């Protein structure tokens, strides 16, 4: 296995080329202080006055200004077109967790490809860290086999399958036991929490969990604990 391009004992904020507000960037960096760019995410970081630790991608949308501003030894072009820039970047870093900004809320095809990468990567061996995608109002992550979440009663918890998945749950108004989830069949959006401790178990990779953004710190703790 190749050595990761970026290795960090802190969380990594991975920035893509989609819309990223200064407030969201500060929010992410306060939790994951190492900034990495996926292709034109470098332009987003540079405009915010932040030098990326690395720029990773096929560089088809990286501006000439960013190419000149980022030191050559921090530029890591990957010409192959079988994977996205998000995938290239995620598999090239090692950290306790990754917060992904600028990948949701713009182009629908880009957003879908990011979610596809999340569920594919969680089922593969290797050091790929847990990744949480930050959207305007939600956070999204691929569910491990078992995850325990500390929530507020009444909060929304949504599940969206990217593959056929079954599982069980504790703490949800509508339990998921006995349901056969599939992207073209049963989905689990807008469930509600009925006790503060929620436990989810799944028979295989493929499920996305979607929560309010206010649960980010809890999810970071839950995913890093599940990985240890």
| Predicted local distance difference test score (pLDDT) of residue 136 | 87
Mean pLDDT of 75-102: 93
pLDDT at 2 > cutoff 90: no
Closest CA to 118 of 137, 99, 146: 99
pLDDT tens for each residue of 26-41: 999 999 999 999 999 9
- Tell me if 6-136 shares its fold with 146-227: no
Mean pLDDT of 124-148: 88
**Domain 146-227 falls in which CATH fold?**
Jelly Rolls (2.60.120)
Instruction: For residues 15 and 223, give the distance between their C-alpha atoms in angstroms, rounded to a whole number.
Output: 20
Contact between 121 and 91 under an 8 Å Cβ cutoff? The reply is: yes
| Predicted local distance difference test score (pLDDT) of residue 175 | 98
Contact between 44 and 15 under an 8 Å Cβ cutoff? The reply is: yes
Contact between 36 and 6 under an 8 Å Cβ cutoff? The reply is: yes
Mean pLDDT of 192-213: 97
Q: What is the 3-state secondary structure (H, E, C) of 177-192?
A: CCCCECCCCECEEEEE
Q: Return the domain boundaries, the chain.
A: 6-136, 146-227
Mean pLDDT of 189-213: 97
Taking all residues of the chain, what is their mean pLDDT, rounded to a whole number? Answer: 93
pLDDT at 25 > cutoff 90: yes
The architecture that CATH gives domain 6-136 is 3-Layer(aba) Sandwich (3.40)
Please tell me the pTM assigned to this model.
Answer: 0.94
Contact between 159 and 191 under an 8 Å Cβ cutoff? The reply is: yes
């Amino acid at each position: 296995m190749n050595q990761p391009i970026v290795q960090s004992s802190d969380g990594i904020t991975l920035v893509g080329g989609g819309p990223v507000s200064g407030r969201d960037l500060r929010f992410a960096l306060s939790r994951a202080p190492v900034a990495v760019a996926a292709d034109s995410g470098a332009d987003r970081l540079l405009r915010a006055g932040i030098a990326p630790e690395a720029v990773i991608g096929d560089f088809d949308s990286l501006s000439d200004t960013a190419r000149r501003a980022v030191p050559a030894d921090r530029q890591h072009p990957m010409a192959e077109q079988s994977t996205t820039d998000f995938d290239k970047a995620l598999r090239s870093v090692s950290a306790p967790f990754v917060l992904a900004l600028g990948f949701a809320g713009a182009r629908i095809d880009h957003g879908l490809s990011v979610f596809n990468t999340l569920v594919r990567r969680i089922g593969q061996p290797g050091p790929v860290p847990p990744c949480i995608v930050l959207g305007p109002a939600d956070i999204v992550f691929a569910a491990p086999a078992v995850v325990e979440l500390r929530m507020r009663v009444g909060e929304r918890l949504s599940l969206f399958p990217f593959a056929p998945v079954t599982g069980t749950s504790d703490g949800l108004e509508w339990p998921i036991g006995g349901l056969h989830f599939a992207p073209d069949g049963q989905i689990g959006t807008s469930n509600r929490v009925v006790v503060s401790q929620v436990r989810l178990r799944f028979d295989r990779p493929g499920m996305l969990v979607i929560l309010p953004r206010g649960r980010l710190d809890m999810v970071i703790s839950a995913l890093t604990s599940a990985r240890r």
